Amino acid sequence: MTVKIKTTQKRASSIAGILPQVAVGLLLSILNASCTDTPRDSIFNPGGPAAARIAELGWEMIWIFTGYFLVTLLLLALALRGRKREKSPIGFRFVFVLGIALPTLILVKILISTLQLTLDLGSGKSELQIEITSHHWWFEVRYPGYPIIDANEIHIPVGKMIRFKLLSKAVVHSFWVPRLTGKRDMLPDHPTELRMTAGEPGIYHGTCTEYCAGPHALMAFKLIAHEPAEFEKWLRTRAEVPAVPVDPVVLKGRTVFEKACANCHAIRGLSEARVGPDLTYMGSRTTIGAGTVPNTKGNMAGWIANPQKIKPRNLMPRSYLPPEDLHSLLEYLESLK
């Protein structure tokens, strides 16, 4: 029995010695996170009013829970080091207040703040609606009222409330732009909505945050915020049908596309297939494969020849084109801007 007591005391002493180190390390980590440059896609680097309110609530939760955790560590350290064993008449009240009542009040307060924030983010009059449909494993983008269908890149005007109508054609996905607003699930056959406003021009990175099997980690998109006048110009440009090329190499690439790609991909005025992403303005996109690789001629050639090597388990099959046809097809796709 004596050996067991000594062993228990020794373990308690060891734990008590570690607790201050844990507390200091946690505190330094929080201070470091608040003082250094925030990562570009972090919720603590908001780019719009909705994200700013989410970040504010997030910091509130971090500081409250961190403070309570440090108090808990302090009390635990005092208990492990204490030598008095007599009962105290205030023991029950002490445990009830700090262990039950106060945590309950904190959680209720956080719950109310979260519900209020959720209601506020879902209200407000929208000035533009955009329809986003998730597929395996990419995002289709439509602008109602305009003949524009894009993929994996969303364009919006700065300072305008945008209403996103979200739908999935496959399994459950989740739409998230960390710097602009919270997440929203995309459900099959059941549209959901999400509202957001970009506070300044720039490129905001988004992703699917609901595991959807396959190359889920390679299902991303970019949201590009323009000044209102620039966005209107973008809408007018994208509403136009691409002109028939006059360059013989590019024109041959157009013919190759009709033979090899038109059964799955659409280009306005040429093909209406909807199996894969719309390629009407493929040359202007910054990435290939839903954010997998930059949109360069070399990456495009690799994607057409063997997409599984770049994005394993995506649904596009390999293409077996002669080098000359592949070259002309690349020139054509690059011209679609």
Give 175-188 pLDDT, tens digit per residue.
Answer: 999 999 999 999 99
Going by C-alpha positions, the residue among 186, 187, 188, 206 that lies closest to residue 196 is 206
> CA-based angle 37:227:196, to the nearest 5?
65
Q: What distance in Å separates the CA atoms of residue 152 and residue 8, rounded to the nearest whole number?
A: 59
Each residue's pLDDT tens digit, 68-113 = 899 888 878 877 776 555 555 456 677 777 788 888 999 999 999 9
User: How much is the pLDDT for 195?
Assistant: 94
User: How much is the pLDDT for 73?
Assistant: 86
pLDDT for residue 4 is more than 80: no
pLDDT for residue 23 is more than 70: no
Query: What percent of the chain clears pLDDT 90, i.e. is strictly above it?
Result: 71
Each residue's pLDDT tens digit, 238-273 = 999 999 999 999 999 999 999 999 999 999 999 999
The residue ranges of every structural domain in the chain are: 2-82+90-121, 128-236, 248-335
Q: What distance in Å separates the CA atoms of residue 141 and residue 156, rounded to the nearest whole number?
A: 12
pLDDT for residue 20 is more than 80: no
pLDDT for residue 16 is more than 70: no
What is the dotted CATH code of the domain comprising 128-236? Answer: 2.60.40.420
What's the mean pLDDT in 45-65? 93
The CATH architecture to which 248-335 belongs is Sandwich (2.60)
Q: Please give the mean pLDDT across all residues of the chain.
A: 87
Each residue's pLDDT tens digit, 146-159 = 999 999 999 999 99
User: How much is the pLDDT for 170?
Assistant: 84
pLDDT for residue 5 is more than 50: no
User: How much is the pLDDT for 102?
Assistant: 87
Each residue's pLDDT tens digit, 105-135 = 999 999 999 999 988 888 888 899 999 999 9
What's the mean pLDDT in 17-38? 54
SS3 labels along the chain? CHHHHHHHHHHHHHHHHHHHHHHHHHHHHHHHHHHCCCCCCCCCCCCCHHHHHHHHHHHHHHHHHHHHHHHHHHHHHHHHHCCCCCCCCCHHHHHHHHHHHHHHHHHHHHHHHHHHHHHHHCCCCCCEEEEEEEECCEEEEECCCCCCEEECEEEEECCCCEEEEEEECCCCEEEECCCCCCCEEEEECECEEEEECCCCCEEEEEEECCCCCCCHHHCEEEEEEECHHHHHHHHHHHCCCCCCCCCHHHHHHHHHHHHHCCCCCEECCCEECCCCCCCCCHHHCCEECCCCEECCHHHHHHHHHCHHHHCCCCCCCCCCCCHHHHHHHHHHHHHCC
Each residue's pLDDT tens digit, 272-284 = 999 999 999 999 9
- Rounded to 5 degrees, φ, ψ at 129 are -110, 135
What's the mean pLDDT in 210-229? 95
Tally of CB atoms within 10 A around 22: 14
Is-same-fold flag (128-236; 248-335)?
Answer: yes
- The mean-pLDDT minimum among 32-36, 185-189, 196-200, 309-313 falls in 32-36
Distance linking the first and last C-alpha atoms of the chain? 82
